[in-house]
Homo-oligomer: A and B are copies of this chain.
Amino acid sequence: MKQIARECGVAISTVSRALNGSTSIRPEVREQIVATAQRLGYRPNNAARALRSRSSRTVGVVLPDMLNTFYAKCTAILQDQFEAQGYGIRLAVTGNSVDREREALARLESERIDGLVIVPTARRWQDHIRGVPAVQMNRHTKSARADIVQSDEAYGARELISHLLNLGHRRIAVLIGDKNFSTTQDRMLGVRDAYDSSDAFAGPTRVLFGTHSRSWGAQAFDDLWTAGERPTAIFAAGSEIALGVLHRTREMGVSIPEDISLVCFGDPEWFLVSDPPLTTFEQPVREVGMIAAQLLLGRMGADEAADASHVRVSGRVIVRESTTAPPE
């Protein structure tokens, strides 16, 4: 800017005004300034801007895992939405570790992010980053004073379990994530609900809590298949878990749905070509991402004071070929 000012014979503050579209400036001067800025390849220094204006034009995105299709899609959508509004994305991955999350939030606080989209791991995550407008995506903790956007977890779980019960399944195993996550709790409510409104009095035969990974899915299936009475159906709470189960069944020569039925949450594109295609609750990823972005943009703008909202986006169950009546 100094150089531009010199070349144009104006003050540095005039350059600033010209470049920021202030109205009170002579058009000819502005044009000259813009032209020389162009010629000199001038790029504003965001650090200086942020320092002075107390806004980094950046939002933080904190989530567990980029390899999970669900989060990858979310990231892509958030990226699009925020970029369109002139915000950059600062990405942090936690692997569901409370420590990594704490460090990530500390870094983001140093970065003076203007807003935060988080899939929280720690119950008290907000202690690590105060005073930043935030929206919780997918998971949430009640204590946080922040908006929530998620798909309707309970509904999805209820529909899937009902589907299995209607097919006649009575020995159903649930493979699900960390007991402390709100998603897990919501889904378990849905499971309970499905049983309550059916003529099957009991609940699921077995409930295994684990992680959303292929390896755990495979391991959990081993458990189910080798110990105790085998289930006739599995509810997998995520696509990665389902992938593990599917792979393991194939290795062991167990066929789906003849030997066992499988339903799950999520809908990566490979569900279309898997063997068999999976019956699934299609989470409304796109809507969730869009709403998260819009909500946060709102908070960062005017309506900061508004009450925290809790949005549940409904998805739909897609019946494919991984479910049928139980054997015998």
Contacts and interface: CB of A to CB of B under 8 A. Distances in A.
A139 to B, nearest CB: 19
B47 A51 contact: yes
Contact of A79 (B93, B246, B270): B93
Most buried by B among A65, A250, A269, A276: A269
Contacts of A276: 275
A90 interface: yes
Interface stretch (A102-110, A184-192, A230-238): A102-110
Contact of A43 (B45, B91, B110): B110
Interface string A237-250: 00000010011001
Nearest to A61: B91
Interface stretch (A69-77, A175-183, A197-205): A69-77
Given A107-B88, A112-B47, A275-B274, A75 B66 contact: yes
A46 interface: yes
A189 to B, nearest CB: 30
A26 B270 CA distance: 61
Contacts of A43: 106, 109-110
B91 A111 contact: no
Most buried by B among A44, A56, A75, A272: A272
A212 interface: no
A91 to B, nearest CB: 5
Interface string A52-82: 0000100000000111000011011001100
Interface in A258-274: 268-270, 272-274
Nearest to A273: B246
A48 B46 contact: no
B88 A89 contact: no
A275 B93 CA distance: 32
Contact of A275 (B66, B107, B112, B275): B275
B76 A93 contact: yes
Contacts of A75: 66, 91
Interface in A92-107: 92-93, 106-107
A50 interface: yes
B88 A88 contact: no
A66 B76 contact: yes
Contact of A250 (B76, B106, B273): B273
Contacts of A46: 47, 110-112
A214 interface: yes
A17 B270 CA distance: 54
A46 to B, nearest CB: 5
Interface string A109-129: 111100000000000000000
19 contacts: A41-B130, A44-B110, A45-B51, A45-B110, A46-B111, A47-B50, A47-B56, A48-B51, A66-B75, A66-B79, A67-B72, A80-B93, A91-B91, A243-B269, A243-B270, A246-B272, A247-B273, A250-B272, A250-B273
